[in-house]
Amino acid sequence: MRKLAFFSALCFFLSAVEYAIPKPVPFFRLGLANLPIMLSFLCMTKKESTALIFLKVLLQGIISGTLFSYIFLFSLAGSVASGFIMMAIFHLFYEKKLVSWLGISMAGGLANNLAQLGVAYIFLFGENTRFVAPVLLAISFVASIAMGLFANAFVEKSKWLADLKNKNWTEEKNAEKKSAAAEEKKSSSKFQALILVFSLLMFILLFFSKSIYVVTSIFLLSIVACLAKNKKVKVLPSLAIILSVTFFSILVPHGKILVEIWKLKITDGAILSGLERSIKLCSCVFLSKLIVNRNMKLPSKAGLFMSMLFEYFEKLSEKDTDKKITFSNFVSILDEKLEKAFSC
């Protein structure tokens, strides 16, 4: 359960990052959340990887607010197709050293695109799908190559992943976690239950609201609630995310033109879209901080799973290094972050 919760949190985190990036095609995804799926093949059972695929789709729907929209259908079709194709190729060819992660990633990207184009043809664009297909296939081809090359480098150099595949190490860590969990179950309060209910309601309202005023109110309220619970609140990183995401959103103009600088048209739609996406992302982090409590007791295994997922998401969202990130040290810094978050 612990590994599944961590990889689900990693999918959640990467989906949140991907959600903040403007997309050239409405249902297109860069595929960042596919990385945990691929890595899961190395250290999880087929059953666990299958569960992770569907959890990834659910978490992407939650983080983007598209759970009950047609876009969720695109995500479901693409993720299931790519997930199972990558899993099949891994077990049939990777273990025999007949294919690398590059090949697995490209096959997954192609399966994802074909499934989404099929859904687009049936439910949305019809014959006009042929105009969307070249752009989608071209962008996804480049993205899947980049993801595959990164996966090759990460699997080769990752100490965290090597340790995770070690059965004895995993069992030892699980034993420590169970011991800690036994202590955590000793206390719980009605106040914490209210905090949990409040946070979950805010999550639902946050992801299904299209009003910038509602989203901003939840963001400010989540900060106040974290401060009231003595949680660490770092406002500057959130402001940096809001400014950067809004800036890149402006590069894809839509709506009423407010001002034109050289050839760049700054529109109200692009600004509001960037603000909404970035504030939702930051609110998600603060609400996760609010939910996480080492003394929290949730009923059943599902409750324990969700508690672990949010705890890992909080750890993954924290900035815990002052090292300058470069192309050469990116893998090592990411590896350290994953190891630190998984060991919490």
Q: What is the residue-level pLDDT of the chain in tens, covering all 344 positions? A: 788 889 988 888 887 777 666 655 555 566 778 889 999 998 889 999 999 999 888 877 766 656 655 667 888 888 899 999 999 999 999 878 899 999 999 999 999 989 988 888 887 667 777 877 888 888 888 889 989 998 998 888 888 888 887 754 444 455 445 444 444 444 445 666 677 778 778 878 877 777 889 889 988 988 888 888 777 777 777 787 788 778 877 877 888 888 888 878 888 888 888 888 788 878 877 777 776 655 555 556 766 777 778 778 878 877 666 666 666 777 788 888 888 888 76
pLDDT score at 100: 92
**pTM for this one?**
0.68
d(CA 34, CA 19): 14
CA dist 7 and 36 (Å) reads 6
pLDDT of residue 63: 66
What is the pLDDT, as a whole number, of residue 106?
93
Beta strands in 149-261 (DSSP E): 257-261
pLDDT at 130: 81
pLDDT at 90: 93
Main-chain phi, psi angles of 29, to 5 degrees:
-130, 145
At how many degrees (to 10) do helices 70-92 and 101-123 cross?
Answer: 150
Residues 6 or more apart from 111 whose CB is under 8 A from it?
78, 81, 82, 85, 86
* pLDDT at site 298: 56
What are the distances in angstroms from CA 157 to CA 13, 91, 153? 22, 21, 6
Cα dist. 209→172, 205, 343 in Å?
44, 6, 35
The pLDDT, as a whole number, for residue 185 is 46
Amino acid occupying residue 136: L
Model pLDDT, residue 37? 92
- In sequence order, the 6+-apart residues with CB closer than 8 A to the CB of 94 are 41, 100, 101, 104
Dihedral angle computed from the Cα positions of residues 168, 169, 170 and 176, in that order, rounded to the nearest 10 degrees = 110
Look at the block and give the residue holding tokens 């050293």.
97
d(CA 121, CA 176): 51
Residue 184: per-residue pLDDT? 45
Report the candidate in 33, 135, 27, 133 with the shortest Cα–Cα distance to residue 86.
Answer: 33
Amino acid 105: pLDDT? 93
pLDDT value for 282: 80
Q: Which residue has the tokens 């939650």?
A: 62
Q: pLDDT value at position 194?
A: 77
- Residues 313 and 127: their CA atoms lie apart, in Å, by 41
Rounded to 10 degrees, what is the CA torsion of 64, 326, 240, 256? -60
